[in-house]
Chains A and B, each alone.
Chain A
Amino acid sequence: MTELERELVALGDELEYPVAREVWPQVSPRLQRRRLWPALVAVAVVALGIAFAVPPARSAILKFFHIGSVSVEQVQTLPPAQTRPFSTGLGPKLARPTVKLPAGLTATAYYARPGLMAAVLRYRGARVLYAELRGDQMGFAKKFVGPTTHIEEVRLGEFGIWLSGAPHVLAWDRGQVQTRLAGNVLLWLDHDVTYRLEGDLSERQMLALARQITR
């Protein structure tokens, strides 16, 4: 260590920092709320089950979890759904950008409706739907996943999952329940925003894109 470095260390010893309050009393109640989460989710399952009214899924839920604004249910039998365009249910196509994209990525279309902003873009030759769902609006959208869809936790944001394999059913309620089949999806939560990427990309490609977007 040079003399300058030693002087910097000595300087560090002489710095004054503001007095901080004990952290634990502020942190502890927030951990408790998380421990109550399964109970809250259980209540939501009932409410959403009624709201979405998708009988085959409601009757055979194998697993359920919630990530930001999206609920994911693993069911034995998927509800009926068709392949429909990405733009289905996203609201009118807009000319102005509704989401911020990193340099080098351009969208072919933008969409927005309350609580949701989206863009369709091209990445590594594939069309990709990128969406941001604001706030913890539980049940904003719902995914029904069959036994042959692979679900994997990924290190992204506060919590992320990667859905691949057999298509799953995306359902949302805008006055009436709408559904469509969805392919590979990366879903993650960060700072109260739920991010969603959908497209025919590998997990590695999708993660690279996600990290570019949310860097």
Chain B
Amino acid sequence: MRRPFGFLGAAVLVLAALRLPLGGEAATGFASHPVLLAATLAALALFALAPFAPLRHSLGLPVGFAGVILTCAVTLRLLVDPGVAGTAGTGFWALVLAGWLAAALVVTGMAALKLRNETLRRANDLAIPLLFGGFLFYLWEVTVRGFGVPSVLVPSPSATAVRFAASLPTLGEDFVQTFVRGVLIGYAIGCGAGFVVAIVAHRFTFLGRGLLPIGNFVSALPIVGIAPIMVMWFGFDWPSKVAVVAIITFFPMLVNTLAGLAAAGPIERDLMRSYGASPAQTLVKLNLPAAMPFIFNALKINSTLALIGAIVAEFFGTPTRGIGFRISIEVARMSLDMVWAEIALAAIAGMAFYGIVALAERATTFWHPSYRT
């Protein structure tokens, strides 16, 4: 019962926006923008209609969503006006607020939906965070440009995107240096070594009982600190980054794989014994499959650790490329849009890496209880 009042509140805010000043003295208002005026009136109508039956049950959300899109488009177009950008007035912010309120109601409504269809439910669960995040970016953009925050402090997402698109070659070079060379190679070496040592330690109990406490302890240490020593040993270029990443990823892999190899229950192990299975057979057919969730847990932890390790290592010396190098240089030159473009690159790389590992986990451990629905 709250939703009708909410959407009506958004409608009232839009109405107020039509009366209040949009910007500073140079701003012209809606009079000179007939298209924007029409769009605003349409949004007003949509917000006013959304709560009412028979729209409420079937079409309330789409109608409200259309209103949100319209308000967002109108505010973004208004910011092009030099009289609004930097000196946005109360009318402008009332419009933003109306969009915000309506968007919150739409997302809440979507979260409360009870969908029977499996595909639709998945799509809904994916759409909710995307809408939420998209609106956060919109708020960031509007706030930065509406208040005229200097771009040396916080650049707007659009400025970052423009910069990102304009400096693709540089970003590509940094990506190859930091991610493809440093992270991926180091990740493969570290995880592979941790895995092999864990299997050996599982086979020889004495080694396992000695390594597990040490591995647990070392996992809690700030290992990134070895970066300067690795730079000293392996030089400025990517081998030193590989070494740092390999060492950082080794211990989580070791500890998790050891725990996973011991995860098979006593009954299953007894069964393997009664089959007369050799240790190798027990390992391949029982222990490794049982350890898969643990191993993927380590792979996921390591995917973020590896990126951090590679960037940290670049602060201790690097050739003139790489994400960490570029960030420290561009911060010193106060060109923050380039820094944000590098951050976006690192974030996209990190999320894609994590996502690929998570997908691989789904493909290989689909049998695990946590994925059954």
Same complex for A and B? Answer no
Chain A residues packing against B (C-beta within 8 Å): none
